[in-house]
Amino acid sequence: MSISVRDQAAVEAFLEMMAVERGAATNTIEAYRRDLDGAAEFLAGQGGLFNATSETIRAFLSDLAKQGFSESTRSRKLSALRQLFRFLYAEGQRADDPTGPVEGARKRRPLPKVMSEAEVDRLLDLAEQEAADPALAPPARVRAVRLQVLVELLYATGLRVSELVSLPKSLLTSRSRVIPVVGKGNKERMVPIGDAARAALDAYGAALAAAKVSMEGPWLFPADSESGHLSRQLFGRELKALAARASITPAKISPHVLRHAFASHLLQHGADLRAVQELLGHADISTTQIYTHVLEERLHKLVSEHHPLSRVGRD
């Protein structure tokens, strides 16, 4: 069934607003157009898109599910409809938003891969051993110590890999117990570092001096790259290679997995979820709540070990 003139006009007005006021890219506009035109075609026989109700929108989403569309696709199409009707409501063209009562498909967030503490210890120990190899020539020592610093800092701070590789070289001379990190949205947070990471930084500075490496740029990990610092991809490959040498499956390891290990191990040892949120640089606690399974395990262990009703053989 064809889309009505009124529905076409509503979609065009919305897309014009997205382009002019929000500066949406052409590809984004076309994606919205496809999603909204698809909804308009389905709703054409049920009063149209402009006059849609919560019931007809639910029918549209149900039809998408029957056709085998994924949860993420259905959520995206519902999001497009929500934005359209909020626009129509704001413009006074509709007195309500029919998408308000409509629940989207609940996308299950997979639990993050997590390394055990024993695996992290093996990784850190090997990085330290390789960096201390007396047979290494100065350039090779710089690379080995750099990898040790990267791994120590990542596990000590839980930084995003983009934050890690772009750290400033001023950390080499700073004696502060915390480092300033500029994260998403240019928001700065202060992250503490431990003795092991500080010692690795000192060893890195000594290796750079011994190899007479020039540190003219602003980066702690300078490289011949477009950014001027070590790339995320190169560090990721070096980390996987280190894992393989430590007899850890490389597919199990990535900078992101080590960041998750940082958070999970903190929580296992009693850290507060809000504190971990702050350290990770999560703007919303809901993002950090993927770790609630760690808290549940900790609480279960606490009750089973210390609650009197859980003790075997109690009087």
Please give the positions annotated as active site.
Answer: 160, 184, 256, 259, 282, 291
**298 within 8 A of 198, measured Cβ to Cβ:** no
**148 within 8 A of 156, measured Cβ to Cβ:** no
Dist CA 130 CA 122 (whole Å): 12
Give the side-chain half-sphere CA count within 13 A for 45.
Answer: 4
**291 within 8 A of 186, measured Cβ to Cβ:** no
Dist CA 191 CA 173 (whole Å): 17
Contacts of 241 (CB under 8 A, 6+ apart): 250
**62 within 8 A of 21, measured Cβ to Cβ:** no
**80 within 8 A of 36, measured Cβ to Cβ:** yes
Residue type, 225: S
Helix (H) or strand (E) holding 34: helix 26-43
Which residue in the block uniquely carries the two structure tokens 């389905």?
A: 42
Dist CA 111 CA 300 (whole Å): 19
Query: And the tokens for 41?
Result: 């075609």
